[in-house]
């Protein structure tokens, strides 16, 4: 296959809600990720911050660091301050060979606020989204110059949540800004992941295969609650879960048509006490590989 499969550590430990897996050491996460058959993993908040220690930990389990989240504050701080915040992260990622930096603009975000329903998320008005696009383009060029390409993560609860907001952002940026296509966040935001993949497939440089449980999603359509409330209620799951509702073969087939080559990351923030991280990680890897193999078959 033209892709490799990685996993997010968020199924073991949720950095935004430490009561979900806060007692699970990173060594268990990495060991189980390797045992589940993954080649790589995204960075977790409890991973070592020094390049030597992080590289040694990854090498112990035979895993590559494929990238990691960065909470952008471009709207709040401006380009120069954002560059300063990024430098140590980029140095770390370059030192351990990470493929991308996952950037999301989080100024005013409610994604980490359990006391704030999703309807209260920040929204940009007038030309503010165009201003964000111009600043993001500068940041992306800075990251590329440091050897770690930037991919933008549209995220529920932030200023770039909907398909329309994502369209306007990407249209205002050069190709220096890659797209992280997250199937779960798109569907939760009311978008069609397949349509977004077809529209922006040429810009996709990182992929999150995240599933949604249909029954919980239907409640989320009716009830205005916080993002973290829905996480706790189990809205997210992995590919292969019968309770899920995303057609990963169709998404993979679209990305194959654009000749996507890179990492496919299985991600599902769940309560590890209710959803065994190893079992779900293995299920997600097997189903994701099967979906991609099916997508690569001649039609």
Q: Which domain holds residue 114?
A: 4-296
Contact (CB, 8 A) for 155 and 111: yes
Angle at 188 between CA 184 and CA 190, to 5 degrees: 120
Q: Please indicate, yes or no, whether the overall pTM of this predicted structure exceeds 0.95.
A: yes
Contact (CB, 8 A) for 288 and 246: no
Contact (CB, 8 A) for 39 and 5: yes
Residue 113 is predicted with a pLDDT of 96
Neighbours of 40 (CB within 10 A): 21
Query: In angstroms, what is the C-alpha Rg of the chain?
Result: 18
Q: Residue 36 corresponds to which tokens in the numbers above? A: 């589940």
Residue 279 is predicted with a pLDDT of 98
Q: Are strands 69-72 and 64-67 parallel, antiparallel or unpaired?
A: unpaired
- State the number of CA atoms in the 13 A half-sphere of 294 facing the CB: 12
Contact (CB, 8 A) for 162 and 190: yes
CATH of the domain at 88: 3.20.20.150
Reduce the DSSP state of residue 11 to 3 states and report it: helix
Helices (H) and strands (E) in the chain, counts: 12, 11
**Segments of the chain assigned E as strands:** 4-7, 40-42, 64-67, 69-72, 101-105, 150-153, 178-182, 204-209, 211-212, 236-237, 263-266
Question: How many separate domains does the chain show?
Answer: 1
Q: Tens-digit pLDDT profile for the chain (299 aa)?
A: 799 999 999 999 999 999 999 999 999 999 999 999 999 999 999 999 999 999 999 999 999 999 999 999 999 999 999 999 999 999 999 999 999 999 999 999 999 999 999 999 999 998 999 999 999 999 999 999 999 999 999 999 999 999 999 999 999 999 999 999 999 999 999 999 999 999 999 999 999 999 999 999 999 999 999 999 999 999 999 999 999 999 999 999 999 999 999 999 999 999 999 999 999 999 999 999 999 999 999 87
Q: Are strands 40-42 and 64-67 parallel, antiparallel or unpaired?
A: parallel
Residue 298 is predicted with a pLDDT of 84
- State the number of CA atoms in the 13 A half-sphere of 104 facing the CB: 21
Contact (CB, 8 A) for 123 and 83: no
């Amino acid at each position: 296959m033209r892709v490799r499969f990685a996993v997010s550590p968020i199924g073991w430990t949720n950095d935004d809600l430490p009561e979900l897996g806060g007692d699970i050491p990173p060594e268990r996460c990495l060991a189980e990720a390797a045992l589940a058959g993954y080649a790589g993993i995204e960075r977790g908040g409890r991973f070592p911050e020094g390049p030597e220690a992080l590289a040694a930990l990854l090498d112990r389990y035979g895993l590559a660091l494929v990238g990691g989240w960065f909470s952008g504050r471009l709207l709040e701080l401006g380009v120069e301050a954002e560059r300063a915040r990024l430098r140590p992260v980029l140095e770390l990622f370059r030192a351990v060979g990470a493929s991308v930096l996952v950037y999301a603009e989080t100024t005013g975000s409610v994604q980490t606020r359990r006391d704030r329903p999703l309807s209260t998320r920040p929204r940009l008005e007038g030309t503010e989204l165009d201003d964000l696009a111009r600043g993001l383009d500068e940041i992306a060029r800075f990251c590329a110059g440091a050897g770690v390409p930037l991919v933008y993560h549209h995220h529920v609860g932030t200023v770039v949540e909907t398909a329309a907001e994502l369209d306007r952002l990407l249209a205002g940026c050069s190709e220096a800004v890659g797209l992280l296509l997250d199937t779960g966040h798109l569907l939760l935001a009311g978008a069609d992941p397949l349509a977004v993949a077809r529209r922006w497939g040429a810009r996709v440089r990182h992929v999150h295969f995240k599933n949604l449980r249909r029954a919980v999603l239907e409640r989320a359509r009716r009830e205005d609650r916080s993002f973290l409330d829905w996480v706790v209620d189990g809205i997210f799951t992995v590919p292969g879960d019968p309770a899920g509702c995303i057609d990963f073969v169709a998404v993979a087939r679209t990305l194959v048509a654009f000749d996507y080559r890179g990492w496919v990351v299985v991600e599902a923030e769940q309560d590890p006490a209710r959803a065994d991280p190893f079992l779900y990680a293995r299920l997600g890897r097997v189903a994701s590989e099967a979906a991609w193999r099916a997508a690569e078959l001649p039609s």
